Amino acid sequence: MKNKIFTSLFISTAAFFLILLIVSLVILPSFNVNNELNRISAVDSSDQGLKDYLNGVRPQIKNKLDLAYMIMGLEGLATMLKIHSFGAVTFTILVAFFLPLVGTMLGMSFLVFIFLFVISRIKREYKFNTIRLVGKIGLLVSSILFLIMGICGIVLFSDIETFLNKNNGEVSNYLNKINNNDSHNAFAFITAYKYFTNGKLQTLINNGLSQTGLYFGDLPINNIEFKAAISIGTIMMPLFGIFTIFFASIWIATFISNRNNQNSKFSYWLKNVRIDSKKEFRRSLLTNVWFWISLITFTITIIFPGFIHPYKTLAQTLLTVINAILLPICFIPIIYAWFKIIKIKRFNYNKMMFNQILIFCILVMLNQILIWVLFREEMGMPVWIGITWPFVAIILSIVCLFGFVHQKH
């Protein structure tokens, strides 16, 4: 197994995960659970209902990790910075956002590493082809099922969010005061109910909202719809997501593996097309459908929500500045290729375009995840926008990357 680039990437990801974990452990003693809950209560010290709600939450917050997940679920980044101590905010962002994100990347890298090791010891071609076919079919089926579950979840969560925001219930009023707005994401409501019940998510899956003891307004609650949404969001989607990562790891391993001490299929593909003229470069660029779809997706992502959002806080303004800086930087591969042509130097088109679409894909994913997780409350958008657009943008970016790799050149 001679995949030096992938091995370096795997080691770097593992090292980054370890650094995040160590920093989290160092920060852990710097804040107190009760003090942080008191800070939430202090947003309106005259509201006895909010105090009673937080008193009901305290028995479920058994450790600082529970507190971090509750804060991440209830509040946006600007609210966290306004209410909580620096230690609590940093710990929350690390353990409830960055560690799961990097951990997922590390887990997928580890699976690819294992499959590369297994494939490198396969001598017969038919066995290798069987594994590759299993990876392709498994990836296709699990991706379709994940997509179907995602669509069902978006529809159900959107309806639930609309109901809870309009019905002006008890928890809605508490969230209004905590986040200083009157429109909240469905996941903020679910987090609020989750930490008010003894069994947490399991209780919500079994009983819905009927046994929380909280006031939801005058309109009746559709418990069946709520339980279905929770089941899809916490069981079905993660399950099919794991299957998708598993089979994607198999397919990637078969594509980049160096069997029988030969260069991988991917290595040959990267060096397949060489360009040394402006005319040829323009023709290849204009006829590359995958490049244009990924470019349009990336551009729309930069505009929304990168530029189109409420400018109420310094963090939101900083978000716009960062996106404005990223916009030209992302085109470095194409700019580099153009300078090569000007100097009449040949370059690998596939390698250049793969790097370009990969940059678009990575930045679309990071941009969408960062904004719609950390700034979801500040964005003030309904859940169908906050889930659907990232869902579509990320899937389109990944499809473009896979599509270009499979495209015949």
pLDDT tens figures, 198-252: 757 888 888 877 777 777 766 677 888 888 999 999 899 999 999 999 999 999 8
Lowest mean pLDDT across 175-189, 289-303, 357-371:
175-189
**What span, in angstroms and rounded, lies between the C-alpha atoms of 89 and 72?**
9
Section 363-385 average pLDDT: 82
Instruction: State the Cα angle at 376 between 95 and 29, rounded to 5°.
Output: 25
Question: Angle 183-304-181 (CA atoms, 0-180°, nearest 5)?
Answer: 15
Nearest one of 219, 186, 193 to 208, comparing CA atoms? 193
Confidence check: pLDDT of 408 > 60: no
Domains of the chain, residue spans:
271-409
Say how far apart CA 393 and CA 159 lie, in whole Å. 22
The set of residues, in sequence order, having a beta carbon less than 8 Å from that of 180 and lying 6+ positions away, is 79
**For 186-207, what is each residue's pLDDT tens digit?**
888 888 888 888 757 888 888 8
pTM of the model: 0.86
Query: What is the rounded average pLDDT of the residues 301-310?
Result: 77
The mean-pLDDT minimum among 156-170, 177-191, 253-267, 369-383 falls in 253-267
Rounded Cα distance between 296 and 399, Å, is: 13
The CA distance from 168 to 182, in Å, is 9
Residues facing 275 on adjacent strands = 347
